[in-house]
Amino acid sequence: MNKHSSSNDILTKLAQQNEDIVLAPLLSSNQEVCYPMSLRQSRVCCFEALKSIPVVFILAIVAWSYYAYVVQMCILTIDNVPKKVIYLFIYHPLLFIFLWSYYQTMFKPLMGPPSEFYVGEAEGERIATAQTLDERRTSLLRFCHRGDLPVLTRHFDGSIRYCFLCRCIKPDRAHHCSICGKCILRYDHHCPWTNSCVSYANYKFFILFLGWALVFCTYVAATSLEYFILFWQDVNSSISPGGKFHLLFLFFAAIMFAISVSSLFFYHLYLTGKNRTTLESFRAPIFSNGPQKNGFNIGCKQNFQEIFGKKFLTAIIPIWTTRGDGVHYQVNSLLLGGLQEQQQQQQQSGNIRCSK
């Protein structure tokens, strides 16, 4: 009996301790607020730190390649002084414009929908609690007509595209980025290597970043090829083994990055020529008359000028030349004719109903 009662006492004490542990955060109002907030803040800090890892990796590779190319190759390996000067004279401008393009891609402020696209709290609640799809579609159409919003694209169910997280009507080609947590104009994709959304605000800079990275890596690979072959054959024994390692790895890294960047660069040139985003290449934008993969294609020349402008010199340097405001877009002439015809038919049918 004593053993049985003592075991019951032990179990009772353990249960009470567990209950105290579970209820402890709830007993104090301060702990109730601070515990979840500190956890949330730590998660945000960890997530931000993880997002910066690819950028730190790129910058570390660039810093190391600068040492390998300038110090190990040009200063310590090349004996011909004019050759050193020429190599360094070309290298530094290429490095500068590459880093400038990278900086512009990362730090250009992202552009979201204008204020008139955001619905009020009451309107947002009405849209969110709509009982039927028709009721929600009617509310969205009424809001667009009231604000005269230039919206041509539709959701797959035919309704106006709406973001429930941001409580806004999505402008044409805008999408919500789950990583940035907001809607972005002319959203292309979220790039981990730049830790930013590639979109209307920085799409030109992103293409220039890829293009100048390709030129920069190709130049480094071409000028280091001669010494890569010499060191591979172990012809020049005056260089330390550490210096040989830097130059051998420099050539391999330049070739590897040039190949990987070239595929992205030429793919985005193709998308620019078709006036599509990466998202639109996989999922065609939907208009009131159905999906149209060439809906925003206004001709190859006009498509490039929409992003890069008309002057070649300003097109190849990372300064702002993109046309428009990120909200209004020209559409394909065939699509525009179909939309106008559809609008006329709707107006005529509306007039007939009114006359009846």
Please identify every residue annotated as catalytic. 191
Token output for 220 = 């480094």
Other CB atoms within 10 Å distance of the CB of residue 29: 8
Residue 98 CA, chain-centre distance (Å), reads: 18
CB burial class (10 A; 0-12, 13-18, 19+) of residue 19? exposed
Is residue 185 a contact partner of residue 327, using CB atoms and an 8 Å limit?
Answer: yes
Closest CA to 205 of 221, 188, 181: 188
Is residue 193 a contact partner of residue 209, using CB atoms and an 8 Å limit?
Answer: no
Q: How many CA atoms lie within 13 A of 104 on its CB side?
A: 23
Is residue 119 a contact partner of residue 167, using CB atoms and an 8 Å limit?
Answer: yes
Q: Which residue type does 278 have?
A: T
Alpha-helical (H) ranges within the chain are: 2-27, 29-51, 53-66, 81-107, 121-128, 133-147, 203-232, 241-274, 278-282, 300-308, 312-315, 333-355
